[in-house]
Amino acid sequence: MMGGYWKATAIADPLLARGFVLWGGDGPVVVVAVDWCEIRNEAYDRWREVLAAAAGTTRERVLVMSVHQHEAPVADLAAQRAVEARSLADGVCDPAFHEAAVQRVADSLRQAARTPRAVTHLGRGEARVDRIASNRRYLLPDGRPSFNRGSAAAINVLAREAPEGTIDPWLRTLSFWEGDVPIVAFSTYATHPMSYYRTGEVSADFPGVARARRQLETPGCLQIYASGASGNVTAGKYNDGSRAFRGIFAERLHAAMAEAWRATRREPLRQVAFCSAPVRLPPREDPAFSEAELVRRLDPARPAAQRNHAALGLGWRERIVRDQPIDVPAIDFGPAQLLLLPAESYVEFQLAAQRLRPDQFVVVAGYGESGPGYIPTEQARAENDTNLGDWCWVGPGCEPLLREAIRKALGSNAP
């Protein structure tokens, strides 16, 4: 679970991969949202390569995103090799299970390809979500910023009473129709998707509950949910971590999904254009993240979580050595675009993307290639965001690089 931080002990509800393929235009495009915490580096490449072969397309045209539930796997094959090479117990992921999952999804794609549906219309709908998201950052009474509003912070009176902070309060649903018949509804909302976790009970958490309820209400229309760019957004203001909040948040998310559906406007779909912008994010160079230090921490005397964290860092550094950029892809439907951002991009990048194309309905998904971990703003670094202490493998200077890739992917002429 979560890259070897704890073990699965039971299955509360199943983890799913849900997606669609758009044929036509200048080539097939695959979109799939996976109920895993993260898919990183070589594992991410493997998902895209296998699904590309199944759809008859190229790797860059496969948009894979994790929903980022924490009671779920992190897949990083290079990190797992680093653990296995030293015969360490309790690794990052199970390569055999990973490959089996990839192949099952590819089989599902090939099966679906036998009975394609004609898409004639595009739908756009949105609704404000009630009392889920809040930014990790809030101000203390003396004006200093604190970043400790995690996924279950409402027991902290200061975190609970502070304003929500910078969030995107809107759930957006992009839908595809055959005439008057809906085929796919793709919804995104920017928040960490956790109510309670570290129980060992495998779960798709409250987005899975809300999605399943919507699926029962629309049996002929595939319901897909993706988390937006929400590295610094959680349910912490409203959540005390008790089990009741899984159902409470599921109800609130479901209500927004249903309202966005009622608000949906349809129009003929006249284009499907694809664009992808590469970005190279610098590695973290402070001593604790040097290659030598990461290797040193692969010590059997250390706790498994510390060893696995070091292995994940080495997996990212391998990618840097081979100079492999991250793809930032977007699908342009004319009145709307679907943009996929990498890893735990902060919500400010999602809001910036929407400002770049005010003429379009910009739907942003996060947790694409997840090798970098948190991708913060420069302000967060300057304020010593405490969340960047471990789960962040990129150095300063990422913000202008990612903003430029977003601008290119969306085809914006704005500076």
The per-residue pLDDT for range 279-310, each reduced to its tens digit, is 999 999 999 999 999 999 999 999 999 999 99
Q: Would you state the pLDDT for residue 154?
A: 86
The per-residue pLDDT for range 315-354, each reduced to its tens digit, is 999 999 999 999 999 999 999 999 999 999 999 999 999 9
Would you tell me how many other CB atoms lie within 10 Å of the CB of residue 84?
13
CA distance linking residue 192 with residue 238, whole number of Å: 13
24 band by pLDDT with thresholds 50, 70 and 90: confident
CA distance linking residue 15 with residue 53, whole number of Å: 23
Q: Would you state the pLDDT for residue 265?
A: 98
Alpha-helical (H) ranges within 278-365 are: 291-296, 304-321, 347-356
pLDDT at 414 over 90: no
Query: pTM for the whole thing?
Result: 0.97
- What is the β-pairing status of strands 336-340 and 361-365? parallel
CA distance linking residue 406 with residue 106, whole number of Å: 28
CA distance linking residue 14 with residue 2, whole number of Å: 16
Q: How far is CA 340 from CA 104, 140, 345, 365, 369, in A?
A: 23, 34, 10, 5, 9
pLDDT at 415 over 70: no
pLDDT at 4 over 90: no
Mean pLDDT, to the nearest integer, of 30-48? Answer: 98
CA distance linking residue 330 with residue 272, whole number of Å: 10
What kind and span of H or E run contains 161?
Answer: helix 157-161
Tokens of 388: 């960047």
The per-residue pLDDT for range 219-236, each reduced to its tens digit, is 999 999 999 999 999 999
262 band by pLDDT with thresholds 50, 70 and 90: very high
CA distance linking residue 415 with residue 409, whole number of Å: 14
Q: Would you state the pLDDT for residue 25?
A: 81
**Closest by Cα among 179, 358, 185, 332 to 262:** 185
* Residue pair 74/37 in contact by the 8 Å Cβ criterion: yes
Q: Would you state the pLDDT for residue 2?
A: 86
Task: State the average pLDDT for the chain.
Answer: 96
Q: Would you state the pLDDT for residue 186?
A: 99
* Residue pair 330/275 in contact by the 8 Å Cβ criterion: yes
More confident residue, 262 or 7: 262
Mean pLDDT, to the nearest integer, of 85-112? Answer: 95
pLDDT at 361 over 70: yes
